[in-house]
Amino acid sequence: MANVVVIGAQWGDEGKGKITDLLSRSADVVVRYQGGVNAGHTIVVEDKVIKLHLIPSGILYPETVCLIGSGTVIDPKVMLNELKMLKENDIDISGLKLASSAHVTMPYHRLLDAAMEEKRGIKKIGTTGRGIGPTYADKSQRNGIRVIDLLDEERLRERLYIPLTEKNNILEKIYNENPLDKEILVKEYLEYGEALRPHVVDCTRVIHQAARNKKNILFEGAQGTLLDLDHGTYPFVTSSNPVSGGACIGAGVGPTLIDRVIGVAKAYTTRVGEGPFPTELDGSINDQLCDRGCEYGTTTGRRRRCGWFDGVIGRYAVEVNGLDCLAITKLDVLDELDEIKICVAYELDGERIDYFPSCAEAFSRCKPIFKTLPGWESSTAHCRQLKDLPPAAMAYLRFLAELMEVPIAIVSLGANRDQTIVVEDPIHGPKRALLSS
Active site (catalytic) residues: 13, 41
What is the CA 125 to chain-centroid distance, rounded? Answer: 18
Q: Is 68 helix (H, G, I), strand (E, B) or coil?
A: strand
Q: How far apart are CA 241 and CA 251, in angstroms?
A: 12
* 6 class by beta-carbon count within 10 Å (0-12 exposed, 13-18 middle, 19+ buried): buried
* Cα 21 to Cα 60: distance, rounded to the nearest angstrom: 8
341 Cβ neighbours under 8 A, 6+ residues apart: 279, 308, 309, 370, 371, 372, 373
Q: DSSP string of 12-24?
A: S-SSHHHHHHHHH
Q: How many helices (H) and strands (E) in the chain?
A: 12, 20
Give me the phi and psi of 192, to 5 degrees please: -60, -45
Q: What b-and-e string marks burial along 22-31, b requiring 16 or more CB atoms within 10 Å of the CB? A: bbbebbbbbb
DSSP code of residue 308: -
Three state DSSP letters for 120-181: HHHHCCCCCCCCHHHHHHHHHCCCCCEHHHHHCHHHHHHHHHHHHHHHHHHHHHCCCCCCCC
Q: Kindly state the DSSP code that residue 332 receives in the 8-state scheme.
A: G
Residue 343 near residue 318 (C-beta atoms within 8 A):
no
Chain center to CA of 265 = 11
CA–CA dist 419, 384 (Å, integer) = 7
